[in-house]
Amino acid sequence: MQFNPVTQRVIERLKQIVGEEHVLTSSEDLARYALDEIEERYRSLPEVVVKPRTPEEIAAIMRLANEERIPVTPRAAGTGLSGGAVPVYGGIVLSLERMNEILEIDVDNMMVTVEPGVVLGDMMRAVETKGLFYPVDVSSLESCHVGGNVAENAGGARAMKYGLTGQWVYGLEVVTPTGEIVRLGGKRIKDVTGYNLVQLLVGSEGTLGIITKITFRLTTKPKYVLDLLIPFDSLEVAVAQVLDLIRQEIHLAAIEFMDSISVRAVERYLNTRLPYSECEAHLLIQIDGMEEGAVWEAGERVYHRLMKGGAKEVFVADNRFTREKVWRARREIAQALKAFYKHVSIEDIVVPRAQIVKAVQYIRELSDRHRIETPVYGHIGDGNLHPTPVCNERDEQTWDRDLEAFLIEMFRIVHNLGGSLTAEHGVGLKRIKYLPLVMSKTEIALMQAIKKAWDPNGILNPGKVIPLELNV
pLDDT digit string (tens) for 175-203? Answer: 999 999 999 999 999 999 999 999 999 99
Cβ within 8 Å of residue 247, ≥6 positions away = none
**What average pLDDT does the chain have?**
96
| Residue 372: domain span | 341-430
pLDDT at residue 470 greater than cutoff 90: no
pLDDT of residue 1: 74
Determine how β-strand 48-50 pairs with β-strand 92-95.
parallel
CATH code for the domain of 243: 3.30.70.2190
Give the Cα separation of 463 and 72 in Å (integer).
Answer: 11
Domain assignment present for 146? yes
Q: Does residue 2 belong to any structural domain of this protein?
A: no
Predicted confidence (pLDDT) per residue in 267-277, tens digit: 999 999 999 99
- What is the rounded average pLDDT of the residues 454-471? 86
Evaluate whether residue 130 is within a structural domain.
Answer: yes
Number of domains in the chain: 4
Structural domain includes residue 450: no
Torsion of CA 347, 379, 163, 248, to 10 degrees: 150
pLDDT average, residue stretch 367-371: 97
φ and ψ of 14, to 5 deg: -65, -40
How high is the pLDDT of residue 469? Answer: 59
- Cβ-contact 15, 59 below 8 angstroms: no
Residue 88 in this model has a pLDDT that exceeds 70 = yes
Same domain, 231 and 322: yes
Q: Which parts of 341-385 fold into alpha helices (H)?
A: 356-370
